Amino acid sequence: MTDLEGNPEKHQGCDAGQPKRSEGNPEKHQGCDAGLSIDLSAAKSELATQAHALGFTKLGVTGVEIPVDEQHLLRWLEAGFHGEMDYMQRHGTRRSRPAELVPGTVRVISVRMDYWPGEARPADEVLDQPTLGYVSRYALGRDYHKIMRRALARLAEGLAARIGPFGYRVCVDSAPVLEKALAREAGLGWIGKHTNLLARDAGSWFFLGEILTDLPLPLDAAATAHCGTCQACIPACPTAAIIAPYRLDARRCISYLTIEHRGAIPVELRPALGNRIYGCDDCQLVCPWNKFARAAAHPDFKVRHGLDATRLTDLFGWTREQFDTRLRGSAIYRIGFERWSRNIAVALGNAPTSEETLRALEARRLDPSELVREHVAWALERHGSRKAGAATS
């Protein structure tokens, strides 16, 4: 595959990415080889078949125009709901205009892959045991970015081998793309009131990926919404981050605070984190559509290192080297040991007061990281206040 500007996910098609189309038949596409005509409907069918063989549960195709979603994005950014995710502001409308991101793009191929870890300790059981650490279900196995990217690259390369070169770029959280809006337009599901994508046959426990392409493949019908009057997800949010249907203030979201946020977690929000040390699934756990969720078929999404139900004190006792060894290859690895420790310190502050918890915190009172030290001090003070309150009651 041709490597353009150092990006192995780009493949140059006809005339610097601009597609050649045969005259008079929108279902045909003129290939790079002179006189080669491509049956686009057949090509799309082949893609769907191969996608299923690669582990994707659904594939759809949409165009590149999502003006309503672009306006929603701009209002969201203007309100400052993106917090410290400055890259979202920098990307601007490129996020909602795939053809500006990759010139020549006329279609977006969107795919789903299930990740629900059916064999994991039930989420509600872990959340109800404050001495355990809760890790978002998507991060219990190996890093989905690499798994999805490889599969999407194989999907595109397989089609190129059959029909000849065409322009494409593979995206799995690796480019500024409004993936949920595009997936909705491709018929993969609708955006729920919690802002996650939902599908009637799969709930919301799936990953999304895209191929931006210059192939004018036949379009799929956009998905319709089926939340109805249900708003279960809104009061379920521990930090009230879902401020209205379809409107999320990321600055209050536990997933943002434990993953994207680099500094100190706001003191007023720390108690609401409970034992959630990486991400949060509460809005999905209460969604009635998730009764249709399917367990992940890909073996790399199975639970690793007991992360579905590990004691907080054990996790806080890890060294940096143990973190590197155990979490390399996991989505968690990218937040680094410091933020991982910060998150666990907050959870230990929320845990029941016990000698085990206090020993774990005292052991890192003088941690080399100022960030970790501050959160340990908060946790110890919280336990001290509880003990003082119990003594006077």
What are the tokens at 56?
Answer: 């994707």
Inter-residue contact 251 to 237 (CB < 8 Å) = no
The CA–CA distances, whole Å, from 207 to 47, 55, 56, 196, 353 equal: 18, 11, 9, 11, 38
* Residue partners of 52: CB distance under 8 A and separation at least 6: 59
Q: Phi and psi of 262, rounded to 5°?
A: -95, -20
Instruction: Tell me which residue of 208, 104, 228 sits closest to 166, measured CA to CA.
Output: 104
SS3 sequence of the chain: CCCECCECCEECCCCCCCCECCCCCCCEEECCCCCCEEEHHHHHHHHHHHHHHCCCCEEEEECCCCHHHHHHHHHHHHCCCCCCCHHHHHHHHHHHCHHHHCCCCCEEEEEEEECECCCCCCHHHHHCCCCEEEECHHHCCCCHHHHHHHHHHHHHHHHHHHHCCCCEEEECCCCCCCHHHHHHHCCCCEECCCCCEEECCCECCEEEEEEEECCCCCCCCCCCCCCCCCCCHHHHCCCCCEEECCEECHHHCHHHHHHHCCCCCCHHHHHHHCCEEECCCHHHHCCHHHHHCCECCCHHHCCCCCCCCEEHHHHHCCCHHHHHHHHCCCHHHHHHHHHHHHHHHHHHHHCCCCHHHHHHHHCCCCCCCHHHHHHHHHHHHHHHHHHHHHHHC
**Residue 314 among the catalytic residues:** no
Cα-based angle 248, 251, 257 (whole degrees, multiple of 5): 115
* Residue partners of 393: CB distance under 8 A and separation at least 6: none
Catalytic residue (one of 173, 300, 314, 367): 173
Catalytic residues: 173
